[in-house]
Amino acid sequence: RAATDYQAEDATISQGAVATNHTGYTGTGFVDYTNITGSYVEFTVSAASAGASPVTLRYANGTAVDRPMDLSVNGTVVASGVTFPATADWNTWATKSVNVQLGAGSNKIRATATTANGGPNLDRVSVGAAADTQAPSR
Ligand code: GCU
């Protein structure tokens, strides 16, 4: 099953803002976490069945310093201090994948900045395996 994309600018945003002042984002913009500990973006995603699923965050970090975030699923932190290292500049996007357990149906995935620098700029999350990593069907 191919991954489903969820745009950050369409998610629930706390202490962040939708922005378009850099290039290379998908959708209509990205979220600029303000430089505040605890700022977050929360996505409502759907899973066909319960089980482990890769969650891939597409981000940019045009500084030299890591912008770690905690990832929670349905209110429980499932990965703390996930690193979002520097990208070449704010126009250059990278991906970070974490494997999480999802329940069947609707799930809330939240990415919360854990330092006063805030999170990286966040473009989207993709849930599920990328199409090009799946075994060929035969
Ligand atoms: C710059 C950049 C923003 C970014 C911010 C930050 O202002 O233009 O896109 O969000 O730095 O430090 O987070």
Q: What is the pLDDT of residues 33-68, one digit of tens each?
A: 999 999 999 999 999 999 999 999 999 999 999 999
Protein residue whose Cα sits closest to atom 9 of ligand 1: 32
Position in ligand 1 atom list of the atom nearest CA 22: 9
Q: What is the CA radius of gyration of the chain?
A: 14
Burial 115-132 (b: 16+ CB within 10 A, else e): bebbbbbbbbbbbbbeee
Model pLDDT for residues 99-113, shown as the tens digit of each residue: 999 999 999 999 999
Position in ligand 1 atom list of the atom nearest CA 34: 13
Check if 123 has its Cβ closer than 6 Å to any atom of ligand 1. Answer: no
So what's the ipTM on this one?
0.98
Protein residue whose Cα sits closest to atom 2 of ligand 1: 90
